[in-house]
Amino acid sequence: MLSFRNFFRCYSKGVRMPVCDFIPKKYQGLHYDDLLKTRKGRLSPALTTYYSKPLALHQGHKQWLFDVDGRRYLDMFGGICTVSVGHCHPKITEVVTEQLSTLGHVSNIYLHTKIHEYAEKLTAKLPGELKVVYFVNSGSEANDLAILLARAYTGNFDIISFRNAYHGLTCQVMSLTATSVYRYPVPQSPGFYYAMNPDVYRGIWGGGACRDSPVQTTRTCSCGSQCIAGINYLKQLEEVYQYNIPKGRAAAFFAESIQGVGGTVQYPKNYIKGAFDLIKSYGGLYVADEVQSGFGRTGEHFWGFEMHGVVPDVVTMAKGIGNGFPLAAVVTTPEIAKALTKAQHFNTYGGNPIASAVGIAVLEILEDDDLQENSKQVGTYLLLELEKLRQRFSVIGDVRGKGLMIGVEMVTGDGSTTPLDPGLMLKFWDRCRDLGVLLGKGGYFGNVLRIKPPMCVTKHDADFTIAVIAQALEEIF
């Protein structure tokens, strides 16, 4: 077995992978060709794989992933923004083993200590009256429950979300997700309306000082004391209410604090506060989708909504909450929570002992390892270095984000926002993988690099990522 203690993977132009002392186990699973065969014949054809040649992974350690041949990759996507504290964190392994050997599963019809300990610790992280939690198993399920909760509490039916939003793929939540690539050709659930996406890079309005980000667009800005783009987008949002929803009869407005799957889109600084005020005037609830932007990922705040200066009525969360374990939650106020007592509500696995033990461990690791501050420091550094690449390479149209929730929008390089050709995008993406960095991809056109790594990444990892992206750009463009 090759030792990684003093191993650097070197490339033709001096790109060097940071040292990693970890030695992966020898892979003993199915042969790669058998994996492909089973994937094709026994798993749903709806499942897609990344890269022109699918990557077969075997083991993970902190920010590193190892494939079936023992090759090491820097994971800058974190299992789709899910691995928050690092792959196979020893504390999580320890608490899972201990809990599994003590009490693996009982539903919440019984009292067990872990769900109660976790409820106290999680709600302590939220402001105001956000003190009642429902544990579920995925982000889609959390948003589905939030829809029910809003309608049951308000007695209203209509719900507003953004075009380009992604909130999950259950049958009802598919209607909340407003992008055609995630819509099946079946009748959609009624009662959903969509506001213009306040994208200050690609949208109608936007300037060079709109976003709460270390990096702004290159568009000119003539704003004074208020953001003109935000005001214009809010006027459009108000028209959605005026033309679609009876006065005072909205149920909820849903928004990711930063859009994730949609391409790490950030809104004008004043927009969410205005959207909050508007939904309240129409009798509805503000629901903050923190599935990707929560748990310290944005750096300056533990929750993404805090950057917008609002306290939501309902918060949904998943992904980083369990570091890859199937765990999610909906948090609301005691008053709103009573709405679910109008009928029986039950979730077999929600808050089960193992999930709760994992959730507690994640919160403790975030604090003990100071990962929110690391997200701020490393993320800001990475954003500013990516901005330098934008100045060098015209195919980088925009760099945006906060902390370790980062997007890089790839364009044709002719000064427009025209998306980069999909074939070139795939070639570039593949080359970054070949050089040892795994990046996500999103946005409606699939032209946005999504950089959302485990929050334990270092400045050396950021430098390696920049070097790899730069080399791939130089080779292809």
Tens of pLDDT along the chain (477 residues)?
333 333 344 444 567 899 999 999 999 999 999 999 999 999 999 999 999 999 999 999 999 999 999 999 999 999 999 999 999 999 999 999 999 999 999 998 999 999 999 999 999 999 999 999 999 999 999 999 999 999 999 999 999 999 999 999 999 999 999 999 999 999 999 999 999 999 999 999 999 999 999 999 999 887 777 889 999 999 999 999 999 999 889 999 999 999 999 999 999 999 999 999 999 999 999 999 999 999 999 999 999 999 999 999 999 999 999 999 999 999 999 999 999 999 999 999 999 999 999 999 999 999 999 999 999 999 999 999 999 999 999 999 999 999 999 999 999 999 999 999 999 999 999 999 999 999 999 999 999 999 999 999 999 999 999 999 999 999 999
**Close Cβ partners of 91 (under 8 Å, ≥ 6 residues apart):** 361, 364, 365
pLDDT of residue 226: 81
First-residue to last-residue Cα distance in the chain: 37
Please report the domains of the chain, with CATH numbers, ordered by start residue.
Answer: 32-75+371-476 (3.90.1150.10), 91-368 (3.40.640.10)
**Close Cβ partners of 300 (under 8 Å, ≥ 6 residues apart):** 306, 307, 376, 402, 403
Beta strands in 174-231 (DSSP E): 192-195
pLDDT of residue 4: 37
Neighbour tally for 95: CB within 10 Å: 21
Q: Give dist(CA 450, CA 443) in Å, integer.
A: 9
Rounded to a whole number, what is the largest CA-CA distance in the chain? 69
- Assess contact for 401 and 258: CB atoms under 8 A: yes
pTM: 0.95
pLDDT of residue 10: 41
Pairing of strands 437-438, 72-75: parallel
- Encode burial over 385-406: b for 16+ CB neighbours within 10 A, e otherwise: bbbebbeebebbbbbbbbbbbb
Q: Give dist(CA 116, CA 137) in Å, integer.
A: 17
pLDDT of residue 13: 58
pLDDT of residue 222: 74
pLDDT of residue 223: 79
pLDDT of residue 2: 39
